[in-house]
Structure 1
Amino acid sequence: MHKVLVLYPTPTDPAAFEEYYRNVHLPLARKLPGMLDHRFTLSVSAGDQESPYFAIFEADFPDEATYAASMASPEGQAVGADVPNYATGGAVVLHYDVEP
């Protein structure tokens, strides 16, 4: 299993981020070929500290090659190109194999 984790620092306008993310970006992301499942949160807690992240997106792919092909596809290119439209705080993308 190959996981993708996208960490979003706090944007300049959280309400605008949420509106765009839910209504435009997630529908694009759901079209990624080869993606097995995905989940997200707009409520990140760091215990008694302030979280450095506002939102987190996770996706599952069967393997790294499928993930790479997905991101190279037209759908993947559209997802990547869309990030600056809402993520004013930027985004950190991590991907890794998960061991059982």
Structure 2
Amino acid sequence: MSEVKFTVIYPTPTDIETFEKLYQEEHVPMAIEKLAGKSRFVASKVVGSPQGKAPFYRIAEIYFPSMAALEACAASEGGRETVAHAVKISSGGAPLFLISESETFQFNPA
């Protein structure tokens, strides 16, 4: 069974220092506390691209065990508040929101 993933992709902020402060001190704690039903949260900072300047700055991936769990979270007050906060702190433009099913393939090192 595949997991369901809610992805938030942030464009490069107009003020990286302010964005990072808000993201680390407000947004991540809010997501951890208020996104009910999540199974894990992965926060990544984009450090480069082989194609030149990366068009995005951060990517957040929130995993849920099912679409029903994601939908319940999205409908909750905490879910709506967290999404609104993501939009509020994204000074480089509106973040992209994606919902996907994910499969994990694991490999053992040689």
Gaps of 5+ in 1: none
Gaps of 5+ in 2: 105-110
Partner of 2:55: 52
Give the TM-score, by structure 2 length: 0.83
Which residue identity lines up with residue 84 of structure 1 in the other structure? Answer: V
Percent identity of the aligned residues? 31
Are 1:33 and 2:29 an aligned pair? no
Deviation for aligned residue 1:48:
4.4
List, as ranges, runs of 4+ consecutive aligned residues in structure 1 with deviation greater than 6 Å. Answer: none
Per the alignment, in what secondary structure is the counterpart of residue 56 of structure 2? coil
Choose 1 or 2 for highest CA Rg: 2
Are 1:91 and 2:95 an aligned pair? yes
Give me the CA root mean square deviation: 1.4
CA contact (8 A) 2:39 2:64 kept: yes
Q: Count residues with an aligned counterpart.
A: 100
CA distance in 1, matches of 2:96, 2:88: 15
Q: Find 1:77's aligned residue among 66, 77, 80.
A: 80
Distance 1:22 1:53, change over 3 A: same
